Structure 1
Amino acid sequence: MTPAARLSAAIDLIATIDGQRIPAAKALKEWGTAHRYAGSGDRAAIAGLVWDVLRRRASSAFIMDDDSARSRVLGMLKVERAMTPDAIAALCDGGRFSPQPLSDVEHAALSGRTLDGAPPHVAGDYPEWLDGAFIEMFGDDRVAEATAMASRAPLDLRVNTLRAKREKVLASLAHLGASETPWSPLGLRIELGADARNPGVQAEQDFIKGAVEVQDEGSQLATLLSAAKPGEQVIDLCAGAGGKTLALAAMMQGKGRLIATDSDKRQLAPIHERLSRAGVHNCDIRAPKGPADPLADIHASADLVLVDAPCTGTGTWRRNPDAKWRMRPGALEIRLKDQAEVLARAATLVKPGGRIAYVTCSVLPAENGGQVKAFVAGHPEFAVTPPAEVAAALWDKAEDFLAATRTTPEGLLMTPLRTGTDGFFVSVLRKSGA
C-alpha cells in the first residue's frame, strides 16, 4: 500500500470507530481480517496513524476547527507528525486509493492555525472533566505533562535475574536496537518510530527461556521501590497476569514465601506459565474459589503486601489512548471504592513492622495521595515512609530519581514527561511495632 492509501484507510477506520462506537483495537482487527492483502508493515503503519489520532484527538480537531474523522487525521499529521501543509497535500492528491485533495479551508487551517489559545484540556488532549484533577496535580505544567502522556511509548523489557544478567541480554538483543533504561537496573528499552511494528520479542530465545519479560520501566521501578527482600513473606494482592509477581520473585532470589492472588481468577490465568518460564519456584498462586477467602490463613504475618491497585489507568494513556476518551466520572468513583477496600484488606495481612506498597498506574490525586491520606486517617497504626527513604531502594540513582519525580508527603509520582516512564504512583506505608 502507498502512504496515501494507508492514510485513506486510517480515515475510514476513525470514521468506523466514531460511528460504531467500538474500541480501536477491535476496529483494527476487523479491518485487517477484511483486507488480507495488506502486509504487516501496512497494518502497523495504519494502526500507528489511528492510535496517533486518538492520542491527539482534541488538539487535531482544534487545528482544523472541525471534528470529523478526516479533519482529525489531517490535523494529527501536523500536530503529532510535524508534517508541513504541502507534505500533507501531496498525500491527498485524489488519486486511486488516496484521500481527496485538500480544500482551501483545510489548507488554510493547516497553514495558519496553531494551538495558541487552545484550552489546556484541548492542547493537552485529555477529557475536559479531568481538568480540575490535572490542575491539582500538575498546575501550570498540565499541558506539558498531558502532551507527554499523548506520545507513543517505547517497548520496555525487564531482565529476569533468576535467568540472566542485563549485560548478556543487552548484547543478544542488540539487533532490536535495545539499550539500557535510564533508571531501572533491570530494564532494556526499544524505541519505536511512528510507523514501527512492535518487534516480535516473544519469538526471541531470551524471552522463550524466561530471561526477559515485557514490562514498562515505571512498573519495574514501582516494584523495586517496594524493597522486597530474600527470605520475606510477600503478598501480591492484585497480581493479575503476574508482571509484578515475577519482578518480586527475582528480587527475593527464590528465598522466602511469595503469594500471588487476585479478586478475579480469570486475570490470574497467564501467571502459571509465566512463573514456570521465569524459573520461579517459591510462589503460591491463590485463586479465589467461591466466597471463601484465599488468604484466610494469613493473619498479620506478611513482611510486605504489594497493592497494585485497580485504577483508572490514566498513567498508561500512551499505550491505550482509546481509553482516555471512553473514561467517565463514574469509573473513577468505582475505582476509589475498590482501592479503599483493597487497602483495608492489606492492612489485616501485614505484621507489626511490615509494610504496604501502594501502587497505581494513575496520575489522579484522588487515587493516589487522596487514598493514602484516607487510609492513614482510618489506620493510625500505619505511617507513610518519606519518599526519600523509598527512593533509596534505587541506590546510586536515588537522588536523581527523586528529583525527577513529583513528590508529595504521601508518595512519589513518575510521569512520561519527568521520568520517561508510564505514570506510576508509589507510596510505602509501614505498620508500627516490630
Structure 2
Amino acid sequence: MNAKEKSIFLADEMTPSEFIETDWNQIIGIVLKNCSPNSHVAILARSYGIPMLTDFKISLNRMKNVKNAILDGKKGCLIIEPSPKLLKEYQKNVQNNFEEIQLNLSKLAKPSFNSKGDRILVKINADSMDLLTKIDPEHCDGIGLTRTEFLIKDGHIPSEEEQFQVYSNLVKWSCGKPITIRTFDVGGDKPVEGITNNEENSFLGFRGIRVSLKFKDLFRSQIRALLRATALGPIQVMLPMVTIPEEVEETREIITEEYLNLCEKGIKAGIPKLGIMVEVPLAALSIEKFDVDFYSIGSNDLIQYLSATARDNRSVSYLYHAKYSAFWDLMSKINAHGHRTGREVSICGDIASDTNYLEKLLDNGFRSISVSPNSLVNVKTYLASKILKEEPNKEVFKLN
C-alpha cells in the first residue's frame, strides 16, 4: 500500500500483513472503523510509532473530499479541515515533541538499572529488517522477540535459504547481542491460506506451535535455517502458543534430528537455546513442568485468555487490561520459578513498553523486558529517571 504524498489511511479494517507491506514513509496515520485498540494491527502501529484511531464512527464516504486533517493519537481524535491557527499549534507541538526526543537520545547508549542497582535488560521486538536499520544495536540489549510470520507475504512461505538470509542479517545487525526468534505464529488474526483453518474463534484454535507440529516439513525448513544461523551468532528459539510439555519435547527431537543431518552434510550449524512464550494460562499455571532454557511472557495473549476477552473484539475491549491482581499473581509465579531455576524470564507484550506498568514490573522482580522500537527512548528515559529520583535518598542514607 503506497501514497504519493503524506496521507492518513482510512478504511473499514486492515490486516497485520497489509500493515507490514505498507510504505510508512508516506502514510503517516491510520483511521479504522472496525478495529479494536488491542488488535495485532494496533500493536504494530504502536511498534512503528504510527498514530492510529480505532472504532471510527463517521461514514468513510463523507471523508472523500477532505483535503486536510490532523490525527491526534494522544487524544484519540481526527480533526477535519483544521483552521490555520490550530494547524500552527499542532506543528509547534510536533516540533516540541521532536526536540524532547532528541534530548533523550543521549540515554539510549547507557545501560539501564533499577533503583537497587540491578541491571535491567531492555531488548526490542522486531517485525522487519527495515525497522531495525533505524536503530543502533548499541542502544538496546538485543532482540527479545522476532515475529517470523511476517516473512510470509501474499501466501508465500519463505524457503530455508530465504529464511537463513534474514536470520543471518539479524545476527550481523546485533553485533553479538542475543536474538530471540519466534517460530511462525500463524493463525488467530494472522491466517495463511492453505495452512490455517477458517475458524469461528481462531484465537482458541489452530495457531502457533500447533500449526508447526502439524506441517512438519515447513517447520523443519524453518528449524534448519535457524540452526544454520545459530552457527553465526547467539540465537535463541522461542515457541509460540505452547500448551503442554510434549510440544516442547517434540520440537527438541526435531532440532536434534535436523542438527545431525546438517552436520552429516558438512553444513555449519549450532544448537540454540530453546524457550517458550508463556501466553496460555495452562502453561503459566504449570510452568515448572516445562524444561526449557528461558521463558518469555506474552502478556497480550495471556491477558486475553485469562479475561476471556478477544483482543480484536471492540465490544469487550473495556475488559482487556493488565490491572487484574490474578494476572500479576501469575506473572510473579512464573518469574519466581525462573529465579529458582536460573532461567531468564522476560516480558515481550505491550505492558513492557508502557511506562504505566514498568514500575510494577520492576517491583515484581522482572529484570528483562522487550519493547517496541518506537518505545525504546521512552522506556530507557523512564528507567533513567527512576535512578535519578532514588539517588538523593541514597546520599542522605550514606550521610546518616
What TM-score results when the alignment is normalised by the length of structure 1? 0.34
- RCO higher in 1 or 2 (8 Å CA, sep ≥ 6)? 2
* Larger-gyration structure (1/2): 1
